[in-house]
Amino acid sequence: MTQAPLPVICPACGVQLPAGTTVCTSCHTPLPTKKWYSLKGLNPAEIFLLILGALMLLIGLVAV
C-alpha cells in the first residue's frame, strides 16, 4: 500500500500546490525540494564530515 504524495504548501504565501511542484504558481517563490533530514542527496565527503563533527562533539562533551 503506497501513500499518495502530499501537497506542497508555499512558505511565502501559503497557497497549496500539487506534489512535485518546485516553484509557486502564485508568488513564483522557489519551494524547498530536498528534506533537510535526508542523507540521499549528500555525497560521501559530506557524510564523512557529518560523522567527524558528531565524533568531535562527543569527544568534547566527554572531555568536559
Is residue 11 a contact partner of residue 32, using CB atoms and an 8 Å limit?
yes
Radius of gyration of the chain (CA): 18
Could you state, in order of their start, the residue ranges of all structural domains in the chain?
1-33, 35-64
* Residue whose C-alpha cell is 504524495: 5
* Residue whose C-alpha cell is 564523512: 48
pLDDT digits (tens, 9 = 90+) for 2-58: 666 778 888 888 888 888 788 888 888 888 766 555 566 677 888 888 999 999 999
Closest CA to 17 of 32, 2, 1, 39: 32
Q: Return left, alpha or beta for 41; rule: phi > 0 is left, psi -120 to 50 is alpha, else beta.
A: alpha
Which pLDDT score, from 0 to 100, does residue 34 have?
61
Which pLDDT score, from 0 to 100, does residue 8 have?
82
Which pLDDT score, from 0 to 100, does residue 3 have?
65
What's the pTM value of the predicted model, to 2 decimals?
0.42
